[in-house]
A and B are shown apart, each in its own frame.
Chain A
Amino acid sequence: MTNDTVLGKDSAPQVSEDQLEHFSYDDKIVRMFLTAMLVWGIVAFLVGLIVAIELFLPSLKESLLNGVLASILPAVFSDMFVNLIDKFFSIEYLTFARLRPLHTNAAIFAFAGNAIFAAVYYSTQRLCKARMWSDKLSKMHFWGWQLIIVSAALTLPLGITQSKEYAELEWPIDIAIAVVWLGIFGGNFMMTVLKRRERHMYVSIWFYIATIVTVALLHVFNNLVVPSGFLKSYPIYAGVQDAFMQWWYGHNAVAFFLTTPFLGLMYYFLPKAADRPVFSYRLSIIHFWSLVFIYIWAGPHHLHYTALPDWASSLGMLFSLMLWMPSWGGMINGLLTLRGAWHKVLSDPVLKFFVVAITFYGMSTFEGPLLSIKSVNALSHYTDWTIAHVHAGALGWNGFMAFGMLYWLAPRIFQAKLWSQKMANAHFWMATIGILLYVLSIYVAGLTQGLMWRAIDDNGQLQYADFIVTIDSIIPMYYVRALGGGLFLVGALACAFNYFMTWKNRPAKYDEPTYAAAPLKKVYEGKEATAEARLEGVADMAKAIDKFNQFKWHRRWERLPVRFTIFVVISVVVASLFEIIPTFLIRSNVPTIASVKPYTPLELAGRDVYIAEGCYNCHSQMIRPIFAEELRYGEYSKPGEFVYDHPHQWGSRRIGPDLAREGVTRPSAVWHYRHFLNPPDTSPRSVMPPYPWLFEKELAWSSIKTRVWAMRALGVPYSDEEYANARELAEEQAKDVVAKLVADAPSLARKAKDLEKTEGIALIAYLQRLGTDITKEVDEDAADVKDTANEVASDKEAKPEVGG
């Protein structure tokens, strides 16, 4: 097809041949992004599978040692497996808490991210009838993004993290993301849209614009930090505000990274694959504006029953419920696009993937609002239910959409028939069964956890006071999940093989068809000519007005993307401000609990160990005012307790127990020491990984002062003395901790000198501090004491009791 093809049959008014511009599309960049999507997708699924297995490895080991497997397997084999498991657990870079952020980041930013870019580059060029504005920028975008991914894959296992979920990457990488995303990708995209030859902007382009500007905003404002080193920083927000910003980001990342771009993708590729226009274009516009407008408000639903003000979380809940309407409107619009084409769904793997994806979109967007209802959330939050929900979204909606697009694109970009339709169908079934196994088993696990955590017996005591019992009961579900995840991964591998074989069948040289269309300006000159003819015989004045109008009209089309972008920014910013301002007004008004003091330099360093190890991936630090929860963990958390927490460590799930009052409930250093070395020693059948290296690695003593400096820069009231002597103070405290340790376990006396220097001791000091502040007497003026007492009392009165 080397002959020029004239596009835009209806759009372009009769234009003569010499007004046409000739151009071709850059499909090479699509090939690159699509391949990257596949490669990183496999990495993301593989790491996911590994972390899923890690959660039942301890139980497997137990079974190999003393359980069923020990009785079936010959001793040689069980010894070998036990050895393997121990070896695996001795590698610090591969612990659950370090790999999980890698898994989530790879799935979201590498797999889904590259899928988005492949879709945007393919569809934007065609919808705009223009090649990307700059091939160079496209390439820079590709390599810049892959570099960011690689640096994430290196830093996260090394424990270099900001500890904010899905925003873990440290500040230099964050800057790179902002530059590549907004400067390079955003710039190239906007210029392409501005230089387009099709005056209308199809709804997919709208979704892409919303994605680009909103993600940039979220990313920048959630990642404002004060660096205390090349790869270490503290966020400018603390406690409640930090949590609030984080979930404003986290929620809207789901909205604007995993929803809007994929809807753009759906509105483009689904009509293509079905070979018919979308069911209702009008509905798609309403879908767009409702999403852009409502999503932002819904963020606080991640923080129900926490120290966030009630009205904010109620508003979050209300808007979450409202989201249901447009989401289902979109789903119905997608499914009805297939009207009259359902017979094709049976034979075409592309449409199969799309149909399942859209169905999962519907299911997840039904479940999301459900989970935002406070009473449901009281049960579901911190449990695996959320994990099931996000996988229905990420694998079911994003994953199936991406794979459907891949099967549609592969033959077109490689200019060769798909190598095996059968294999694509097999992939479809493996993925579908895999995800069903995953999601169903994890729903069961989540519900079980939620119900067991809150179960109260006749005496008003916790029915399952031992946390481990609640884990025991869901371990079988973890095996099923791994099976489902494994199937999904095998499916993706089949896809990769199919993709590779299709690529092998490509022509020696890709054909690059040229197309022709008139530029926007020419179109209007064309129109003007006819308009003038129409106005023959009318007063000159009227002609002038008419001409002026046409000029404006022409400007209007050219400016459309700019105006549109401004609208999107306004709706996103207004909604954000409505939430953020009141929450931040509280900042200066949170009556700081008088007894809450900054962490000591050693505790601060220990806290950074906690962050680096990613303990927040398994432990929360936020006790909600729920009866059963207070019974289990102690007095519920107050906002005033977190005012020095840069960043907050509230966490979002409880694979292990909450640690907010750990210092109160478990003050013993020796317990922690034994527990970290080998958790089953203190807690039989624990699934927490061992951390022997904590007592081998030296703490970064030389940076302690810088850390205190950064905290001071953020307004944490360390005295000049504390700052000047930060290191000495820390060393002293470490000696104290070890002295107590040795007192309880005299055999450690030999090692005392070495232990004092380790990360583990700092971590223990931090754990011993957790939640103890409000139990302390305040030795300052009496008024302060009274304030605190009042505050705690009035908090109690206002406290809503749920569950139990």
Chain B
Amino acid sequence: MFKDVLNSLGDYTIFAEIALVIFFIVFVAVGIKVMINPRKDMDHMADLPNEHDDGPVGEEMRDELEQKEKEKGKDHDAQ
């Protein structure tokens, strides 16, 4: 039944084709945009979550962690 309906309305597969073309264009555009973004901006943005902004206990825990890492590093060097 749908075959008849769709045939009478013209070539519907065109919708699928246009969809793919649009997708492809956007995908390539995003790809290019991402490639040409300056590295400095990218690094800066990637760093945003790791600002020291987690309140007193949060920062304390972070310091502790860093301390531990350092000690671990020392152990490593000693071996």
Contacts and interface: CB of A to CB of B under 8 A. Distances in A.
Nearest to B13: A311
Contact of B8 (A411, A417, A589, A638): A589
A297 B19 contact: yes
Interface in A547-592: 571, 574-575, 578, 582, 585-586, 589-591
B50 A277 contact: yes
The B interface, classified by DSSP as helix, strand, loop or mixed, is helix
Interface residues of B, number: 48
A127 B6 contact: no
A794 interface: yes
B3 A412 contact: no
A578 B26 contact: no
A7 B51 contact: yes
Interface stretch (A42-50, A172-180, A220-228, A288-296): A288-296
A412 B45 CA distance: 23
A269 to B, nearest CB: 8
B41 interface: yes
B39 to A, nearest CB: 9
A416 B30 CA distance: 43
Contacts of B65: 275
Contact of B9 (A268, A412, A416, A585): A585
Contact of B57 (A126, A322, A417): A417
Interface in A211-267: 267
A582 B12 contact: yes
Interface string B31-42: 101110100011
B18 interface: yes
Nearest to A123: B49
Contacts of B74: none
Contacts, number: 151
Interface string B1-28: 1111110110011011011101100110
B26 A281 contact: no
B4 to A, nearest CB: 6
Interface residues on chain A, size class? 35 or more
B53 A1 contact: no
B70 interface: no
A589 B5 contact: yes
A8 interface: yes
Contacts of A795: 1
Nearest to A205: B48
Contact of B48 (A127, A307, A515): A127
B17 to A, nearest CB: 10
Contacts of B30: 285-286, 289-290
Contacts of A8: 51
Nearest to B45: A200
A794 B55 CA distance: 70
Contact of A268 (B16, B47, B49, B66): B49
Tell which of B1, B18, B23, B44 has the most Cβ of chain A within 10 Å: B1
Given A286-B30, A574-B22, A275 B2 contact: no
Given A571-B26, A795-B1, 11 more contacts: A5-B53, A272-B49, A275-B62, A282-B37, A293-B27, A412-B54, A585-B9, A586-B6, A591-B1, A794-B1, A794-B4
29 contacts: A1-B56, A27-B55, A123-B49, A126-B53, A198-B48, A202-B49, A204-B49, A282-B42, A285-B30, A286-B30, A286-B31, A289-B26, A289-B27, A290-B30, A293-B27, A297-B23, A307-B2, A309-B2, A311-B15, A315-B19, A414-B57, A575-B19, A578-B19, A582-B12, A586-B2, A586-B9, A794-B4, A795-B1, A798-B3
**Complex A-B, nearest 6 residue pairs according to Cβ-Cβ distance, in ascending order:** A277-B46, A281-B46, A412-B58, A795-B1, A289-B30, A202-B48
